[in-house]
Structure 1
Amino acid sequence: MKVLKEISIEVLQAVLPLTIVVFLLQIVVLSSPLEEILQFLVGLIYVTIGLILFLVGIRIGLLPMGESIGNAIPQTKKLGLIIFYAFLLGFLVTAAEPDVRVLASQIDVVSDSAIPHYVLIYTVAIGVGIFVALSMIKVVFGVSLKYILIVCYIGVFILSAFTPIYFVPISFDAGGVTTGPLTAPFIIALGVGVTSVLSSRKSSHDNFGFVALASIGPVIGVMILGVIYG
C-alpha cells in the first residue's frame, strides 16, 4: 500500500498541472462543447488509473526482476552468453515499450504505410538490443563510456549525411522513445545487477550510461533503414 500511495501522489503531481492547462484552453481558447470536455475528463481518469497501476507494476515487479537477472547473467562466466542475453532482453523489452509502438503507429499513418509499423518497431528493438549488449562489453573490459559515445555519435553524424532528410528526425525521435517508462527502468536495473557482479571498480562508476548507449542504437538503426528505403 505504501508503494501505491507514493506512486499515486507522483502521478497526480505530474498530471494535475497538465490537466488544468488543457482544461482552461478548452474552455477559454477553444470554447469546446461540453461533450468534448467530458470525454477529456473521462479519458484523463482512465489514463491516470492506468499510469498508476503501470508504475506500481514496474516498481514491485520489473525493477527487482531486472536487477535479479543482471545478477544471474554474469554467473554463467561466458562472455558470449552474457552478450546474447543482454541483446535478447534489450530487444524484447523495447518491442513491448508503449512509446515505441505509439511512434511507429504515427509514422505508419503519416507515411501512408510506406514504413510499416512493425518494421520500425523491430528496427528500434534491434538497435537497443545491440547497444545493451555493447554496454555489457563496456563493463567487462572497463572501457570508458565517453570514448564509446564519441565514436558512436561521430558515426551518427556521418551516417546522417547519407540518410534521406525526412528519416533524420524520425531516427532521433526513435532514440528518445527508448527512455520510456518500460525500457529505461529495466535497462537501468539490469545494469545495476550486472555491474555489481562484473565491475572491477566501484559499481557506481559503471551503473550509469546504459540508457545513453541504448538510445544510440535506434538512431543508427532507423538511419540505416532510411538508407535502405531511400
Structure 2
Amino acid sequence: MHEIKEIVLEVLYAVMPITAVVFILQFSLIWLPTEVFLQFLVGLVMVTTGLILFLIGVQVGLLPVGQMIGAALPGTGKAWLVIFFGFVLGFVVTVAEPDVRVLAMQVDIVSEGAVGRHLLTYTVALGVAFFVGLAMLRIILNIPITYLLIAGYGAVFLLASFTPAQFIPISFDAGGVTTGPMTVPFILALGVGVASVLRGKSASTDGFGLVALASIGPILAVMVLGVFYG
C-alpha cells in the first residue's frame, strides 16, 4: 500500500507542472474554447489514472518478470539462448511501446502513407532487438560498453552520409522513442538479471547501458530503411 501511495504522489508531482502552465495560459493569454479546455481536463484525468495504473503494473509485473527471465536464461548454459531471447524480447516490447506507435503514426500521416506505420514500427523494433541481443553478448563476453558505443555511433555518422536527408531526423527520433515506459523497465530488468548471474551481484552494473545500446539500433535501422527508400 505504501508503494502505491508513492506512485500516486509521483504521478501527481509529474503532471502538476504542465497542468499549472496550461491553466495559467488558459486564463491569461490563450482562452481556449470551453469545449477544448474541458477535453483537456478529461484527458488529464485519463492520463493521470493511466500513468498510475501503468507504473503499478511495472512494479508488480514487468520488473520482477524481466529480472527473473534474465536470471533464468544463463542457467540453461547456452549463450545463444540468452542472445536469442534478448533479441525476441527486445522486439516484442518495442512493438508494444506507445512512444514508437506515436512516432510511426505521425510519420505515416506526414509521408501520406509512403512510410507506413507498421513498416516503421517493425523496423525500429528490429533495430532495438538486434542491439539488445548484442548487449546480451556484451554481458556474456564482458566487452567494455565504451567500445560498442563508439562503434555504434561511428556507424551512425558514417551511414548518415548515405541516408536521404528526410530520414535522418526520423532516425534520431526513433532512437529517442525507444527509451519509453514500456521498453526501458523490461530491458533494464532483463540486463540486470543476466548480469547478476553471470557476473555476480557485485558486477550487476554490467546490466546497465542496455538502453544506450538499444537506442542506437533504431537509428541505424531507420537509416538503412531510408537508404532503400532513397
CA distance in 2, matches of 1:105, 1:26: 29
Q: Pairwise mapping of residues 76-225 of structure 1 onto structure 2 (< 5 A)?
A: 76-199=76-199, 202-225=202-225
CA contact (8 A) 2:97 2:182 kept: yes
Which range moved further: 199-208 or 179-188?
199-208
Paired amino acid for 2:12: L
Number of equivalences: 230
1:28: which partner in 2? Answer: 28
Local SS of the residue matching 1:202: helix
4+ aligned runs moved over 4 Å, structure 1: none
String of CA shifts for 1:25-72, please: whole Å, max 9, x gaps. Answer: 223222112222111111100110011101110111100000000001
Judging changes above 3 Å, is the alpha-carbon distance between structure 1 residues 22 and 138 closer, same or farther for their aligned structure 2 residues? same
Task: Name stretches of at least 5 consecutive residues in structure 1 with no aligned partner.
Answer: none
Check the 8 A contact 2:192/2:205 in 1, yes or no.
no
| Aligned AA (1:110) | V
What are the ranges of 5 or more consecutive residues in structure 2 without an aligned counterpart?
Answer: none
* 1:129-150 Cα shifts (integer Å, max 9, x gaps): 1101101110111110001100
Displacement after TM superposition at 1:201 (Å): 8.6
| Root-mean-square deviation over aligned CA pairs | 1.2
Q: Which amino acid aligns with 1:68?
A: M
Residue deviations 1:93-152 (CA, integer Å, cap 9, x gap)? 010000000110011001111100000100111111110110111011111000110011
Q: Percent identity?
A: 59
Equivalent residue for 2:40? 40
CA distance in 2, matches of 1:201, 1:66: 16
Rounded to whole Å, the distance in 1 between the matches of 2:21 and 2:125 is 35
Q: Which letter does structure 1 place at the counterpart of 2:191?
A: G
Which residue does the alignment assign to 1:11? 11
Contact 2:164–2:226 at 8 Å: present in 1 too?
yes
Distance 1:25 1:112 in 2: 33
